[in-house]
Amino acid sequence: MISDKLKATEKKGGITIFFAICLLGICALLLGLFESARTAGARLYFTQAANSAIESLFSQYHRDLWESYRLLGLEHYSDKQLSDEMRNFMEPYFEVKDWYPLSLEESPSIAEKVKLTDNEGEIYEAQVLEYMKYGFLEELWDIATAEKVLTDISEAFKLKELKNIYEDHSREASRLEKAIEKLNEKLLQQKEDYENALEAVMNLNGSTLIRRLKDLKKDLKAVAPLVEDYEKKADALAKKLEASKREYDEGKGSLSDSVKDEMEANISQYSAYVDKDGERRLEIESMRERAAVNIEFVDRVIEVAEEVLEYIEEWEPEDEDDELDEEALWRPVERLLRSYDLLMLNISFGVADKEKEGFLESVGELIKGDLLKLVLPSDAEISKEKLPLSDIPSKTCFSGHDGSRLGLIDRLMVTEYALKEFNYYGRGVYGEKDEPKGGGHLELEYIFSGKDNDYDNLANTVMTLLAIREGMNLIYLFSNSEMKGEARALAVVITGVMGFPPLISVMTFFILGIWALGQAIYDLRTLLSGGRVPIIHNRESWTLDLDGLLKLGSNKSLGNPGPANSSEGLCYKEWMRVLIFKDMGTRSDYRSMDMIQMNLRERQEDFLLNRCVSSLEMSTKAYAGHVMFTTGLGKRYSISTDTYYSYVNNEER
């Protein structure tokens, strides 16, 4: 009985133990699951702490940079500073020792850091576009307008380049004509000395005859070098015209059909000038051989004259009634001399009105001096002091590789940002609502030109505007038949050569080019005086006639610049929009950053834009402990996370 009861008791205890073991297993399972969930929560908590910390870190953006230029940058002086500040922002999350016991034993490390000056200006452009997309635009061209502006500017620059080339050829043609004139002057001198010699022999004056013949011989000896000088200039012009025609053929793709047709018509006249000059050349070259023959002829006449003169000097009469018949002695010399082949040019050549030609040349010389001084208003003062450009991004961060990665609309937006945020000549002066910016320097001009002082920056900008205006003005002159007729009439007056049309055409093109340049100079004066100038002139907006052009070359100074308050056309600011848009690229991005840094350094001497972080990725490692149980591997384990923040298009990666 007792043994049976004991057996029954053992069975009941086994069940209890079994259930205790089951309960222990269930608790262990539940606690394990709970610990696993807590561990996952700890990782999430850690990630949240890192994300919150980096957001707090980036909330310390440079306030002046934002308020002045609407750019965001986290200023720092070292990577350690960023790591330590990141750790400081994370520490409060680790002070709570409840369900997530975490600890940092080292500061977060930087996995990736991108500064505002990095990536060849891409970061700067991205921040500008992020700001400008919210509609802070005064005027934005559409794509068609932007493309047309680029096309028009490209055509103007190419036409100006070709115009300068063929304008130089016009000068060379003028020098060629002057070489013929020099030859002709010597031939005229030859004619005069020949006539004097003939007069001397007719007057029976032997000694004077010989002197005149020697002068004639000297004239003839000068012919060959003058012919060679002409040949040298003619050959050089022909060779240059061939090279220029090849250059034109390579670049004519940037010209519109109408301009191309006009240029080709003018180029054909230069070719005609060289071809027609071939007929003149044959006659001119013949002078060398004829002069050599004449020299031998004059030597023979001199020899005969000396014999006659010697005979006369040695003659002694045989009786008192004998008289020497000198006239009979000199008559053969006279007959011989009259058979002389007088050298004369029977061709059209030369420049008749050298004064007017000189005035036109003087207009071209104006831009070789201080153009800015010529076109600036008399009361304008532009500083020549060097800009405070120390440690600028364009020198410390720019690789030198220029180019634009942006589409037309984005380029326009970056251009508008520049017009909005940077100072330029006349800002706030000529009735504009824009107030001067920064320290008052010519910042847009620096962005375009990159010189180290305001005067040189404005001078370079003005020279570029001159090139554009010169090309645009020539396009207009090509389209105006009346003004082309006026230029041709002046060319006829200057050359005085009715029988050689190619020379007149060459001179006409030269006059048109100088006329376009002269009007461009007045255009600049108008712009810098606060006026407006259209992209393409019309008859009403064109202010310079040919008389005024000649007066400009004569006085070498500007008179009345024309109407400066026209409501038509573009003002200086709008022409700066054209220039900045045309040259928008990496180089202009870094020059913009130069100006930002220069101005902010006036209030913070040690400010550097390349210390401003735009995006940052941090790697953080922490140690966590188990709460529900410990294992034989230890109470702590490590967890890590990477967190990223960017001021532009901030997304977790």
How confident is the prediction for the chain on average, in pLDDT? 85
Q: Backbone phi, then psi, for 621, in 5-degree steps?
A: -120, 130
pLDDT tens column, 422-437: 999 988 887 566 777 7
Confidence check: pLDDT of 505 > 90: no
Q: Backbone phi, then psi, for 35, in 5-degree steps?
A: -65, -40
Query: What token pair was written down for 627?
Result: 């709460």
Q: Which stretches of 59-142 are DSSP H helices?
A: 63-69, 79-94, 122-132
Within 10 Å of residue 101's Cβ, how many Cβ atoms? 16
pLDDT tens column, 354-380: 888 888 888 888 888 888 998 998 888
Alpha-carbon span 416 to 425, nearest angstrom: 16
Confidence check: pLDDT of 116 > 90: yes
Residue (of 90, 104, 107, 78) closest to 51 by Cα position? 90
* Residues facing residue 612 across a β-bridge: 75
Residue (of 131, 134, 135, 130) closest to 649 by Cα position? 130
Q: DSSP string covering 607-653, please?
A: --GGGEEEEEEEEEEEEEE-SS--BTTBSEEEEEEEEEEESSS----
- Percent of the chain residues topping a pLDDT of 90: 40
* Residue whose structure tokens are 């034989």: 632
Within 10 Å of residue 186's Cβ, how many Cβ atoms? 21
pLDDT: which is higher, 568 or 179: 179
Residue (of 582, 185, 529, 194) closest to 376 by Cα position? 529
CA torsion sign for 8, 14, 20, 22 is negative
Query: What token pair was written down for 332?
Result: 């053969």
Spatial CB neighbours of 410, under 8 Å, sequence gap ≥ 6: 125, 129
* Residue whose structure tokens are 């251009």: 415
Residue type, 221: K
Of the chain, the end-to-end C-alpha distance in Å amounts to 78
pLDDT tens column, 628-643: 665 544 566 778 888 9
Query: What token pair was written down for 134?
Result: 């919210």
> In this predicted structure, what is the pLDDT of residue 614?
94
Alpha-carbon span 365 to 368, nearest angstrom: 5
- Percent of the chain residues topping a pLDDT of 70: 88
Every domain of the chain and the residues it spans: 2-123+615-646, 174-347, 365-600
